[in-house]
Structure 1
Amino acid sequence: MRRLAAVIGVADVTVASLIPPSMPPEQGQRMDRRLGAALRRPPLPLPDLPTPRAGSSVYGLAAIDVSGRIADRMIVRALGWGCGTRLHIHESAGLIVVRLDPQGVFTLTGQGHLHLPAAVRKWCGLKPGDRLLLAADPDGGVLVVHPPAALDAVVAQMHAAALGGEQHE
């Protein structure tokens, strides 16, 4: 059996497009000055960012079940409420306001769920499965429940302000 050996020669090849052309010294100094001036420019202005949170509110999202119960242990814990805690529940401006009240008619369930009365659910147009924003103020001992209709109004207002009044369908 005969083997063939092949030798391939590689010549030094310079690719001109990868090597920048040389420039006279005085032109190079001008380029250095321009580059230095560009590096000394003041930084671009930054947009104003919202200030950090100042409050102690605790937020949660929860769905209301077919019996009108809302379960969010983090919110209940933040408020310091336990099973059997007496509460006053009422509707105000489309929101549901829940406050600790030793004389309150309503209580947290044995599982620590908040049960919204049928009348309040009806006033706010709540249906089983609706997602609610829960905003607890532990310092004030109050829970404000935001139904979808109230959230729609707030979001529409915020979007109009952010988008400059543009309407998006």
Structure 2
Amino acid sequence: MVADAAALLLEMAVPSRCGRVTAQRILRALGWQPCQRLDIRLHQAVLVIASASDGRYQVGSRGALPLPASVRRMCGIGHGQPVLLAALVAHDLVVVHPIGAVARLLADLHVEVAGGAHVC
């Protein structure tokens, strides 16, 4: 659980054709610079990006995070679909949520807000 909401930065992004997402505010908050080495792994239905001195991936020269095709497919991030980036600053990592997963998490709340009626 994130104790301080200020320690959690949220940003929406749409991956480019090559699977990179721009998230300058998040990168600044984490202190990640271009060429910063990263580890990217799948955890349940989300991607977890962490700083790692021996990481296989890196922040792009223009400050973009890579989302490799193999892990995008595994967590259901389709071409042109937005993702929710959640930076956990105190833990030095970014969690990438596919938009479909975000919608599923919020569906029950939206039904409740609509007074229990079916939301189209």
Q: Same fold (TM over 0.5)?
A: yes
Match of 1:54 in 2: 4
Please identify runs of 4+ aligned residues in structure 1 that moved more than 2 A: 160-166
2-structure distance, mates of 1:59, 1:149 = 16
Match of 2:99 in 1: 148
What amino acid sits opposite 1:104 in the alignment?
Answer: G
Identity %: 32
1:128 aligns with 2:79: yes
Match of 1:96 in 2: 47
User: Given the two structures, how large is their TM-score scaled by the length of structure 2?
Assistant: 0.88
1:115 aligns with 2:94: no
Give the superposition deviation at 1:138.
1.0
* Higher-strand-fraction structure: 2
Give unmatched runs, 5+ long, in structure 1: 1-52
If asked which structure has higher relative contact order (CA below 8 Å, sep 6+), I would say 2
1-structure distance, mates of 2:55, 2:101 = 25
2-structure distance, mates of 1:123, 1:93 = 10
User: Given the two structures, how large is their TM-score scaled by the length of structure 1?
Assistant: 0.64
Give the superposition deviation at 1:164.
5.2
Q: Once superposed, what is the RMSD of the aligned Cα atoms? A: 1.6
Higher Cα Rg, which structure: 1
What amino acid sits opposite 1:138 in the alignment?
Answer: V
Give the superposition deviation at 1:160.
3.4
Give unmatched runs, 5+ long, in structure 2: none
What amino acid sits opposite 2:62 in the alignment?
Answer: Q
Task: Count residues with an aligned counterpart.
Answer: 117
Q: SS of the counterpart of 2:90? A: coil
Deviations 1:89-128 (A, max 9, x none): 1111211111111111111111111111111111122223
Q: SS of the counterpart of 1:88? A: strand
